[in-house]
A and B are shown apart, each in its own frame.
Chain A
Amino acid sequence: MRNLYAIYRKEMRHYFVSPIAYVCIGFFLLVSAYFFNFFLSAVIQQSFQMEMQSMQFGMPPQFDVPGQVMRAFLGLLSTLILFITPFLTMGVFAEERKRGTMELLMTSPISEIQIVLGKFLASLSLFALMLLPTASYVIYMYLHSDPIPPWRVLLAGYAGILLLGGSLLALGTFISSLTENQLIAAVLTFVAFLFLWVLDLGHTSEGGLGSVLQYLSASRHYDDFARGIIDTSGLIYYLSFMVLFVFLTVRSIDSMRWRRA
């Protein structure tokens, strides 16, 4: 546990002494704030139009502004992290291998699982640090809504984003352990993410291969969370995804010993 913390601490420091954390967080907050503003004004405008229409036709106004904004915003966040997480994980192992510091880690009395978990938890923490400020936008909107929408939707949405992000980080960490080149790691990670994203496209039919692919698609489970539903199958999907790739990373690191260095 102490070793795991030592690795975690070193990784967090590394993120914040290199420009990577600042660039990623800055970019993420800038783009997400811009789009949140855009969604909010677009949806409010749309709601005015709807209200006018409903007054003309004498129907009661029914328009869920916070819900609409929230859904669009969570959709945007999931797309954004697709582009950002490869940069958070690309160097995790590739850089250690290139600098030769892997030799230090692997000849120290710490286990591979401690190394991998320490690094994975650090990238997850950075991701959470990047994500949390965006919740303030939503909270601000919620507090100015009447009636205040259920907080459950907000919590489910952010839980979904964290789970999705964690899965992508685990996959990116694994890919980073396969190469010495950060750029290759980032590109491969991005390609793998895209593949997971579009896995179920063109297989909308129920049953057979279609439903298997739908279950495997990372984006499909996220949609449930974005609608405020914490779905057990989605929870299990993401958690097992993370466990699988953390495990594969441990195996990959271990296998380095057996390969020609």
Chain B
Amino acid sequence: MIEVQDLTKAYGAVTAVDHVSFTVNKGEILGFLGPNGAGKTTTMRILTGYMPATSGTAKIAGFDVFGDSMEVRRHIGYLPETPPVYPDMAVEDYLDFVARIKNVPAEKRAARVTEAMRKTNLEDRGAELIKRLSRGYKQRVGIAQALVHDPDVIILDEPTVGLDPKQIIEVRNLIKGLAGDHTIILSTHILPEVSMTCDRVVIINKGKIAAVDTPQNLTSQLKGGQKIRVEVQAPEKALRDALAQVPGTTRLEAEQLPAGGHLVAIVETAQGADIRSAIAAKIVQNGWPLFELRGVSLSLEEIFLELTTDDAAHAQASSN
């Protein structure tokens, strides 16, 4: 549904988006994850035809975003970073206006507006002026605006920013409900959002794609393999020596817990090897009381930090 090939956008000397390529299949939710200033908004603006790329191509529903901009615009709904609302308009009038400029036929307009308001839980706010709405409701109006013409592709730039936790859950559920009928790209810098809503994730940093995968794969196929957390009462030196002897250990960290005087050791192993029983045996063999032993998978946060800070370190090294 969406094909992006070598997309590059340079603002003078600054390259905001650097040879980005990815595809999104029909009905899929793609998460665009990256720190602020990574190039997420720029990529989305290019996809929506708001600004042209410096080089590279992007196609939506088979139409080139630059060459066939009008056709592309008919197929997309777009929520920019700030909801593009007119404060002096009532919610219903505003959605009616958007439906008009999105070429919704007159006979379907009222039904589409009602439908968009129903999906975003705005039914009882139709007559209210947008300027009187809270931040969360404005954001919903912004989302309603992106769906009012029932587009094939919906592009949402930070859809949950500024919402309270309850509203965030509502918006996530709404987005999940839209998948299937619609192809969705959403950007965020909040990691759990991606693992909860998206089918696939593009991690972008400094304009470059750092990783593309499903959230599950990103979480399990992590760099540096698996981690095991051991909480035990033992002398630090002896524990280090004992754990280092366990075959498969690649890295070891030990730290004294402030309360109780327990030691916490994090043992990293190569991927695939399960050394939990070996560790347990070792500890029992030494007669140390064992309090906890569990595998920790690297959270998306850690992967993200690893990917993005690695990159930053590389960039710094190469520029020096």
* A interface, CB within 8 angstroms of B: 2-3, 6-7, 9-10, 13-14, 17-18, 99-111, 257-258, 260-261
Q: Does B56 contact A (CB under 8 A)?
A: no
A22 to B73, CA, bound (A): 36
State the CA gap A110–B69 with chains docked (Å). 10
Chain A's closest residue to B41 (CB) is A261
- B residues less than 8 Å from A105 (CB atoms): 101
Interface stretch of the complex, out of B87-95, B194-202, B232-240, B264-272: B87-95
From B50, B87, B89, contact of A257 by CB (8 A): B50
Within the complex, what minimum Cβ distance (angstroms) separates A126 from chain B? 15
B206 at interface, CB cutoff 8 A: no
A selection of 24 A-B contacts at a CB cut-off of 8 Å is: A6-B97, A6-B100, A7-B101, A9-B100, A10-B86, A14-B88, A101-B85, A103-B80, A104-B80, A104-B84, A104-B98, A105-B101, A106-B50, A107-B48, A107-B73, A109-B70, A109-B101, A109-B103, A110-B101, A111-B70, A257-B52, A261-B45, A261-B50, A261-B51
State whether the Cβ of B78 lies closer than 8 Å to any Cβ in chain A: yes
- 8 cross-chain pairs, A with B, having the tightest CB-CB distances, nearest first: A104-B84, A6-B100, A107-B48, A109-B73, A101-B84, A108-B101, A100-B82, A103-B80
CB distance from A22 to the nearest CB of B (A): 14
Closest B residue to A10 by CB, please name it: B97
Least distance between B141 CB and chain A CB atoms (Å) = 12
Q: Output the least CB separation between A104 and chain B (Å).
A: 4
Contact A14 B86 (CB under 8 A): yes
Alpha-carbon separation in the docked complex, A17 to B86 (Å) = 11
Q: Assess the B11–A260 pair: CB atoms within 8 A.
A: yes
Of the candidates B49, B82, B103, the one whose C-beta lies within 8 Å of that of A107 is: B49
Supposing A99-B86, A257-B51 touch, asked if A109 and B102 sit within 8 A by C-beta, the answer is: yes
Closest to A16 in B: B88
Residues of A within 8 Å of B70, CB to CB, are: 109, 111
**In the bound complex, what is the Cα–Cα distance between A109 and B63 (angstroms)?**
14
Q: Is the CB of B101 within 8 A of A107?
A: no
Q: Is the interface of B mostly helix, strand, loop or mixed?
A: loop
Residues of chain A contacted by B85 (CB below 8 angstroms): 99, 101
- Minimum distance in angstroms from A8 CB to a CB of chain B: 11
Q: Which of A10, A104, A109, A258 contacts B51 (CB 8 A)?
A: A258
CB nearest to A6 among chain B residues? B100
Residues of B within 8 A of A102 (CB): 84
CA distance A105 to B86 in the complex (A): 12
Residue of B nearest to A257 (CB): B51
**Contact of B102 with A108 in the complex, beta carbons under 8 Å:** yes
Q: How far is the CA of A108 from the CA of B98 in the complex (A)?
A: 9
What separation, in Å, do the CA atoms of A242 and B188 have in the docked complex? 45
Q: Report B80 CB to chain A, min CB distance, Å.
A: 5
Contact B145 A104 (CB under 8 A): yes
Residue in A closest to B105 when the chains form the complex, CB atoms: A2
Q: Do A103 and B84 touch across chains, with their CB atoms under 8 A apart?
A: yes
Task: Let me know if B73 and A18 touch, CB within 8 A.
Answer: no
A10 to B88, CA, bound (A): 11
A13 touches B89 (CB 8 A): yes
Contacts of B97 in A (CB 8 A): 6, 9-10
B88 touches A18 (CB 8 A): yes
- The complex places the Cα of A2 from the Cα of B100 at a distance, in Å, of 8
A3 to B100, CA, bound (A): 7
Tell me how far the C-beta of B227 lies from the nearest C-beta in chain A, rounded to whole angstroms: 43
Question: Would B51 and A3 count as touching, CB distance under 8 A?
Answer: no
Which of B11, B45, B50, B76 lies at the interface centre, i.e. has the most chain A CB atoms within 10 A of its CB?
B50
Q: Is B176 an interface residue (CB 8 A)?
A: no
Quick check: is B74 within 8 A (CB to CB) of the other chain? yes
- Given A3-B100, A109-B70, A109-B102, do A103 and B50 touch, yes or no (CB 8 Å)? yes
- Give 14 new A-B contacts, CB below 8 A, not counting A9-B97, A260-B11, A261-B45: A10-B97, A14-B89, A17-B88, A17-B89, A100-B83, A101-B85, A107-B49, A108-B102, A109-B74, A109-B102, A257-B51, A258-B51, A258-B52, A261-B51
Shortest CB-to-CB span from A4 to chain B, Å, is 10
Complex Cα distance, B86 from A64, in Å, reads 52
Most buried by A among B73, B81, B84: B84
